[in-house]
Amino acid sequence: MKGLSVENLSVEIAAGGRLLKPVDDVSFSIGADECVALLGESGCGKSITALALMRLLPEGARVAAGRVSLQGEALFDLPEAAMGEVRGGRLAMIFQEPQTSLNPVMTVAEQINEALAAHRKLRGDAALAEAGRLLEAVGLERDRLTAYPFQLSGGQRQRALIAMMLAGEPEVLIADEPTTALDVTVQAQILALLRDLQRQRGMGLLLITHDLDVAKDMADRVAVMYAGQIVEWASRDSLYAQPRHPYTEKLFAVLPRLERRGERLDSLPGRVPPPDARVAGCRFAERCPAVFARCREEAPAFHEAAPGHFARCHLAEPQTSRPDAAWRNPGSAREPSRIPPAPASGLQSEVLSVRDLAVHFPVRKGLLRRTVDHFKAVDGVSLAIKAGETLALVGESGCGKSTLARAILRLLEPTRGEVRVAGEAIGGLSGEALRRKRAEMQIVFQDPFSSLNPRMRIGEILEEGMAALLPLAAPARRARITQLLDQVGLPLDAAGRYPHEFSGGQRQRVAIARALAVQPKLLILDEPTSALDVSVQAQILNLLAELQAEYGLAYLFITHNLPVVGYLAQRVAVMRAGRIVEEGAAETLLTAPRHEYTRLLLDSAPGRGR
């Protein structure tokens, strides 16, 4: 048996007297020069599966059952010393966070040489020469050998990490979300590198990802994971042509696209069962659109729905069909529900207009800390948004888009330029006048965990802005909290609970409700869905679209995700190094870009096939 095969792998974690089973009966295989994608949303157990293969599970977690064999050798039976030779040698792994995955106080050469010494017994000049060759193989200059990780960019670090793992000439390489923390252009380069290396070296590649598009570009076969189990296992072409499990089908349906503008995105209700839940039937039953009685009683087996295409679903059993089979393909069977456009009245009024805004941070040097230079985070940006309109601000990390948002809100003082909100310049405002203006512009942040104070109840969080900005008495505020919770689709008893009791998506709803509480005209959305799973992202995008239609809100939507831009925005501005390089209507800009940087962004986006 060539490659890596995993049979009936189960992992247990003992936590606070409970026994969790984050990975349950997982089987798949990777051929000698094949790329397999392990696809799933956060918490589905895909990373733990990978760590179990490496025998690197964190303390407290252990392999409860299963067999893993590499070229026929059973890894779980090896003594630890022999496993040390396999690990980083025949089986290697790269990680998600390039910022923290390298030892900060060792040079790249030292870190590569360690692996060379451990697995190929190379030392001294021979090791150095080989390390240089490895660096060139991953597309880095040889002189980067003497660099420390802090001297490298994120993409370069990921390349260095790959070089380290190639040092042992692995038969199979595991890549755990290798590009999630990277910008889209860098992601494209790293993915291309991985693909080339895999082909040149005839390696097996296990790619762990949450991104359907990445898996589509990279994988030969795909395993879809849900709640600790593999629910679908098929060749890429078969899976992307016709998914057989309702969960996979839903994953496709919730993806925003340019073509779906104005439609309500399909959504996935409910939550994943917790890893300690004892589910009698199918784990997806509670959220499944095709559920029927048998699903709740009997756990489905892995059925071969088409040749080589397996699904863990009763409906994939050749003879089974559900009494009312009309649930399938909602797109063709039913017209997708559309979100009504915003009311036409008042659409012409400009809510936000920014003229030549710049934020420069001084760079101080020398004995007297004199300002010798300026870092131009935002350097002369102009834009305008009308009521009911969404302007997407697209750019990679460090381009200044978040600084721009803070400067617009006057959380930062701009160096020059003018910001007008509803026709009034806010640069000179202070005290009461500024406070009144703040009610008209609000912001929703990216991270649902740090954007809510963990020591305040949801009710208090929603009330804070009203108390500061609106002339409302306490009973009126309470009534408004109830109304807001209802609007963003949260239960009414949420007001008395603390943020930690809510999921990421629910917290993002709270953050939206908090911004809405003061009845703003402009909402700045700073990557509001980047930290969310795609199924939750769809719910939040739907909510945002509905709110815009109802209140004629103007959105400044900051993102790096181009499909979301196509789905949501009327106009797009592309930002790079503090400046807007191209601006235009979404359809034209996304289909016929004029600036080369826009073209690069579009070309780098995954999901276009190989």
Partner 1 sequence: MLDYLIRRVLYAIPILLGVNLLTFALFFMVNTPDDMARIHLGAKHVTAEAITRWKSEHGYDRPLFFNEQAAGVAKAADTLFVEKSLKLFALDFGAADDGRDIAREIKTRMWPSLAIALPTFLIGLLAYISFALLLVFFRGTRLDTAGVVLCVALMSISGLFYVIGGQYLMGKLWHWFPISGYQPGLDAWKFLLMPVLVSVVASIGDSARFYRALFFEEIAKDYVRTARAKGLSELRVLFRHVLGNAMIPILTGVVVVIPRLFMGSLIIESFFGIPGLGSYTIDAIQAQDFAIVRSMVFLGSLLYILGLVLTDLSYTLVDPRVRLE
Partner 2 sequence: MIKPILLWSDVLILVLLWSVAALVWLARENGQMSETLRGPWRQVMRSRVGASTALILAVYVGIGLLDSVHYVERLPDTPGQAAQYGGEVYSALDWVLTPLRENVEKTYSAPFATHLYAKETLQGPVGGEVRDFPRLKYGGAHLADVEREFWPDVLKRGGLGMLAGLLAWFMGYRLTGRSSLSPVPPPGGGGDGGATFALSPTLLFLCLLAGLLVALAPVYHVFGTDKVGQDVLYLSLKSIRTGLLIGSLTTLVMLPFALGLGIAAGYFGGRIDDVIQYLYTTLNSIPGVLLIAAAVLVVQVQIEAHAELFNTAAARSDVRLLALCGILGVTGWTGLARLLRAEALKLRELEFVMAARAFGVSHGRILLRHLLPNVMHLVLITVVLDFSGLVLAEAVLSYVGVGVDPGMISFGNMINGARLELAREPVVWWQLAAAFVFMFVLVLAANLFADQVRDALDPKSSARK
Q: CB under 8 A: which stretch of 344-352, 457-465, 539-547, 594-602 binds partner 2?
A: 457-465
Binding to partner 1 by residue 464, rule CB under 8 A?
Answer: no
Shorter beta-carbon distance to partner 1: residue 113 or 403:
113
Q: Taking the CA of residue 552 as centre, how many other CA atoms within 13 Å lie in the half-sphere pointing to its CB? A: 11
How many Cα atoms occupy the beta-carbon half-sphere of 205 within 13 Å? Answer: 30
Q: Which residue has the tokens 């496709």?
A: 252
Which residues 290-329 are close enough to bind partner 2 by CB under 8 A? none
Q: How far is the CB of 60 from partner 1 (least distance, A)?
A: 9
CB of 38 or CB of 408, closer to partner 2:
408
- Contact predicate 100/158, CB 8 Å: no
* Residue 349 amino acid letter: S
Instruction: Tell the smallest beta-carbon distance from residue 119 to partner 1 (Å).
Output: 6
| 3-state percent helix, strand, coil for the chain, nearest multiple of 5 | 40, 25, 35
Residue 89's binding partner out of partner 1, partner 2, none, with CB under 5 to 8 Å set by partner kind: partner 1
- Choose between 319 and 430: whose C-beta lies nearer to partner 2: 430
Q: Compute the distance between CA of residue 211 and CA of residue 216 in angstroms, rounded to an integer.
A: 9
Task: Kindly state the smallest distance separating residue 428's Cβ from partner 2, in Å.
Answer: 16
For residue 475, give Cα distances in angstroms to 22, 480, 523: 46, 9, 26
- Between CA 48 and CA 225 the distance in angstroms is 12
> With CB cut-offs between 5 and 8 Å by kind, which of partner 1, partner 2, none does residue 365 bind?
partner 1
Q: Could you tell which of partner 2, partner 1, none binds residue 97, using a CB distance below 5 to 8 A set by kind?
A: partner 1
In the bound complex, what is the minimum distance in angstroms from residue 110's beta carbon to partner 1? 9
Residue 36 host element (H or E): strand 35-39
Report the residue from 378, 409, 523, 590 that binds partner 2 according to the rule CB under 8 A. Answer: 409
In the list 62, 365, 416, 599, the residue contacting partner 1 (rule: CB under 8 A) is 365
Closest approach of partner 1 to the CB of residue 150, in Å: 5
Q: Rank residues 443 and 532 by Cβ distance to partner 2 and give the closer one.
A: 443
Produce one character per residue of 168-195: b if its CB has 16 or more CB atoms within 10 Å, e if not.
Answer: bebbbbbbbbbbebbbbbbbbbbbebbb
| The total number of residues written for the chain in this structure | 610
Which partner, partner 2, partner 1, none, binds residue 409 by CB below 5 to 8 Å per kind?
partner 2
Torsion on CA atoms 258, 260, 261, 263, rounded to nearest 10:
-170
Site for partner 2 in 493-532 (CB under 8 A): 498, 500, 511, 514-515, 518
Binding-site member from 164, 352, 354, 452 for partner 2 (CB under 8 A) = 452
Name residue 525's beta-bridge partners: 444, 557
3-class DSSP assignment, residue 492: helix
Nearer to partner 2, 392 or 441 (CB): 441
- Residues 28, 256, 532, 299: is their CA dihedral positive or negative? negative
CA angle 291, 293, 297 (to 5 degrees): 105
Q: 367 contacts which partner out of partner 1, partner 2, none, CB within 5 to 8 A by kind? A: partner 1
Contact between 41 and 533 (Cβ < 8 Å): yes
Question: What residues numbered 53-82 form the site for partner 1, per CB under 8 A?
Answer: 54, 56, 59, 81
Among 161, 203, 352, 443, binds partner 1 (CB under 8 A): 161
Contact (CB, 8 A) for 193 and 159? yes
The position carrying tokens 């908090």 is 514
* DSSP state at residue 436: H
User: Considering CB distances under 5 to 8 angstroms, the limit depending on partner class, which of partner 2, partner 1, none binds residue 87?
Assistant: partner 1
Interface of this chain with partner 1, residues 80 to 139, rule: CB under 8 A: 81, 84-89, 92-93, 95, 97, 100-107, 114-115, 118-119
Count the residues of the shown chain that bind partner 1, applying the rule CB under 8 A. 36
Q: Where are the alpha helices (DSSP H) in 569-607?
A: 586-591, 596-604
Residues that bind partner 2 in the complex, under the rule CB under 8 A? 406, 409, 411, 434-435, 438, 441-443, 445-447, 450-456, 461, 464-465, 468-469, 498, 500, 511, 514-515, 518
Residues that bind partner 1 in the complex, under the rule CB under 8 A? 54, 56, 59, 81, 84-89, 92-93, 95, 97, 100-107, 114-115, 118-119, 148, 150, 161, 164-165, 167-168, 365-367
